[in-house]
Amino acid sequence: GESVGLHLPTLSVQEGDNSIINCAYSNSASDYFIWYKQESGKGPQFIIDIRSNMDKRQGQRVTVLLNKTVKHLSLQIAATQPGDSAVYFCAEIATGTASKLTFGTGTRLQVTL
């Protein structure tokens, strides 16, 4: 079936460096993509989203890039901080349909001092 997955299960980054978390999706009908952050013992928290009519969107210290040609999504975190340590999920949905938000497996980001 359709799926959303991640290339790297764990990413270790030194404090201050930039982090890049990747995600591949397979549903060509998906037109809306979201990144969530989940800290230990908490529910996922919305970070940033992007629609398929865009290829880049920036937030505070975060940038999401979308490459529809290869069905690839990435989350870039600038100047990674210890508080960024968490599991990051990408999610996708085909808006305007009866589909629901589908989450990938997740990547654990570990920030080392």
Partner 1 sequence: GAGVSQSPSNKVTEKGKDVELRCDPISGHTALYWYRQSLGQGLEFLIYFQGNSAPDKSGLPSDRFSAERTGGSVSTLTIQRTQQEDSAVYLCASSRRGGNTGELFFGEGSRLTVL
CA Rg value for the chain: 14
Which residues are 33's β-sheet partners?
Answer: 50, 92
Does residue 79 touch partner 1 according to CB under 8 A? no
β-bridge pairing 19-25 and 62-67? unpaired
Total residues at interface with partner 1 (CB under 8 A): 25
In the list 32, 57, 61, 65, the residue contacting partner 1 (rule: CB under 8 A) is 32
Does residue 91 touch partner 1 according to CB under 8 A? yes
φ/ψ of 82, rounded to 5, equals -55, -35
84 or 89: CB nearest partner 1: 89
Q: How far apart are CA 19 and CA 26, in angstroms?
A: 23
3 or 14: CB nearest partner 1: 3
**Which residues make up the interface to partner 1 (CB under 8 A)?**
32-34, 41-46, 49, 89, 91, 93, 95-106
